[in-house]
């Protein structure tokens, strides 16, 4: 990891728009200790977002980008939906796929990267809505898990099709009425985290994005485990404030309510024993690295 990959030609430096200079100068690329705490003080990997004001997807997106262990060598695969409006602003390689096809695209991509760059770590991360992951793309999602494809799938679960005006999705809760589903959902929210674990995912997490450090940990775990073991799945509750009739400032409260004891988004994780041991080792390494970085910073002062 280094800034080597994003150098501006010296003769052109003065002519580059400031946002690019800023990106090269202050982005967190190459910083092994990068974290969600860099949001706001260093150059973020999203310039602007094009979501509704206060949409929790926007902050979830930032946390995810800040948590990727290897952003320069990560390729994200997106799908149609509200998230796809943000990808053009993201300073990480990304591919837009046909709605629902994201996990098929990611499978091919990950395999091709492995052939093309056998000596390099290249992470592939899918980021798609619940409609793309659980309904229209469910076949592609699950087949990639059955095959043990080595990448991470992240689902922004806003419990409906937000981008097309609020149709019912498999992840919608039973009884919920939305603008384009006036009858109300007749069956239960699909238990995709459990299905994912049964289908071959080595690490699964389901939570809201109310706590950045938790999101960071989970994303990092998922990417590292996908590198070593096989498919991983993270489901994040990012409520569509527009569809549930909340104000811009109310997204956080909505998430906190939804993760309270007994509610549907109490944080949960599933992992194999091997993964548990691996993550424990990884945690110890991370702690040591953090300590060393702190000591080095103190010595430099």
Ligand X SMILES: Cc1ncc(C[n+]2csc(CCOP(=O)(O)OP(=O)(O)O)c2C)c(N)n1
**Cα-based distances in Å from 291 to 183, 287, 295, 296, 298:** 56, 6, 6, 9, 11
Answer whether 82's CB lies under 8 Å from 76's CB.
Answer: no
Residue 96 CB, nearest distance to ligand X (Å)? 11
Nearer to ligand SF4, 144 or 163 (CB): 163
Burial (CB count within 10 angstroms: exposed 0-12, middle 13-18, buried 19+), residue 176:
middle
Q: Give yes or no for residue 130 binding Mg ion (CB under 5 A).
A: yes
CA distance 56 to 53: 9
The count of residues in the chain is 301
| 129-137, 228-236, 255-263, 264-272 -> range binding Mg ion (CB under 5 A) | 129-137
Residue 52 CB, nearest distance to other proteins (Å)? 14
CA distance 161 to 169: 6
Q: Among 127, 120, 119, which Cα is nearest to 94's?
A: 127
CA distance 187 to 140: 23
Structure tokens at 133: 């992951």
Binders of Mg ion among 67-96, rule CB under 5 A?
none
Q: Which option in Mg ion, ligand SF4, ligand X, none does residue 80 bind, with CB closer than 5 to 8 A by kind?
A: ligand X
**Binding region for ligand X (CB under 6 A):** 80-83, 98-99, 128-132, 136, 156, 158, 161-164, 169
Residue 223 CB, nearest distance to Mg ion (Å)? 22
Q: Give yes or no for residue 90 binding ligand SF4 (CB under 6 A).
A: no
Residue 43 CB, nearest distance to other proteins (Å)? 11
Q: Give yes or no for residue 33 binding other proteins (CB under 8 A).
A: no
Q: Give yes or no for residue 52 binding ligand SF4 (CB under 6 A).
A: yes
Q: Which option in other proteins, ligand SF4, Mg ion, none does residue 130 bind, with CB closer than 5 to 8 A by kind?
A: Mg ion
Interacting residues toward ligand SF4 by CB under 6 A: 51-52, 55, 57, 82, 158, 162-163, 240-243
């Amino acid at each position: 990891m280094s800034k080597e990959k994003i150098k501006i030609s010296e003769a052109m430096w003065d002519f580059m728009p400031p946002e690019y200079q800023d990106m090269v100068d202050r982005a967190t690329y190459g910083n092994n200790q990068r974290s969600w705490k860099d949001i706001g003080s260093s150059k973020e990997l999203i310039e602007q977002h094009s979501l509704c004001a206060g949409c929790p997807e926007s902050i979830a997106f930032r946390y995810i980008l800040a948590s990727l262990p290897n952003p320069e060598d990560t390729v994200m695969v997106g799908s149609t939906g509200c998230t796809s409006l943000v990808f053009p602003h993201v300073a990480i390689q990304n591919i837009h796929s046909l709605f629902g096809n994201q996990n098929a695209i990611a499978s091919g991509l990950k395999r091709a990267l492995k052939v093309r760059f056998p000596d390099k770590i290249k992470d592939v991360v899918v980021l798609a809505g619940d409609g793309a992951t659980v309904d229209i793309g469910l076949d592609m999602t699950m087949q990639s898990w059955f095959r043990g494809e080595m990448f991470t799938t992240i689902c922004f679960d806003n419990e409906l099709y937000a981008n097309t005006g609020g149709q019912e999705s498999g992840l919608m809760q039973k009884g919920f009425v939305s603008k384009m589903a006036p009858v109300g959902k007749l069956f239960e929210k699909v238990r995709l985290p459990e299905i994912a674990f049964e289908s071959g995912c080595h690490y699964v997490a389901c939570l809201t994005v109310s706590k950045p450090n938790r999101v960071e940990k989970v994303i990092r775990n998922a990417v590292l485990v996908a590198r070593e073991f096989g498919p991983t799945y993270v489901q994040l509750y990012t409520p569509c404030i527009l569809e549930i009739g909340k104000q811009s400032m109310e997204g956080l409260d909505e998430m906190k309510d939804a993760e309270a004891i007994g509610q549907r988004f109490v944080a949960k994780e599933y992992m194999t024993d091997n993964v548990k041991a691996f993550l424990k080792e990884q945690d110890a390494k991370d702690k040591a690295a953090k300590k060393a970085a702190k000591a080095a910073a103190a010595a430099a002062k």
